[in-house]
Amino acid sequence: MGRRDLKSKSGKQVKAKLSADHEFAELIAEAYRVFAAPKPAETGVCKGCCMDPAIEADFLVPDIAALPLHYLQDWYFAAVSDAFGQPIWRYLLPRVLEVLASGEELAYVGLEVSLNRFPTGDAARWKSEEWGVLDRFRHMYLDRAVRHGEDCLDDVLCMFGIAGWPLADLFAQVLDGPADALAERLWRDWCIGRPSIWISAFWDNGGNSDVFAFYTSPELYRRMADLALDEQTPPELAEKALAVAGVIEQAVAWDAGG
**Rounded to 5 degrees, what angle do the CA atoms 93, 98, 100 make?**
95
Q: Is the pLDDT of residue 1 over 50?
A: no
Task: Give the pLDDT confidence of 114-172 residue by residue, as tens digits.
Answer: 999 999 999 999 999 999 999 999 999 999 999 998 899 999 999 999 999 999 999 99
Distance CA 86, CA 167 (A): 23
pLDDT of residue 233: 98
Phi, psi of 238 (to 5 degrees): -60, -40
Query: Helices (DSSP H) in 4-68: which residue ranges?
Result: 25-34, 53-58
pLDDT of residue 121: 98
Range 84-97 average pLDDT: 97
pLDDT of residue 150: 87
> Which one, of 169, 247, 253, 243, lies nearest residue 215 by Cα?
247
Distance CA 43, CA 183 (A): 42
Distance CA 134, CA 93 (A): 9
pTM comes to 0.93
Please give the sequence-ordered ranges of beta strands (E in DSSP) within 17-173, or none if there are none: 17-18
Task: Give the pLDDT confidence of 131-141 residue by residue, as tens digits.
Answer: 999 999 999 99
Contact 3, 18 (CB under 8 A): yes
pLDDT of residue 258: 52
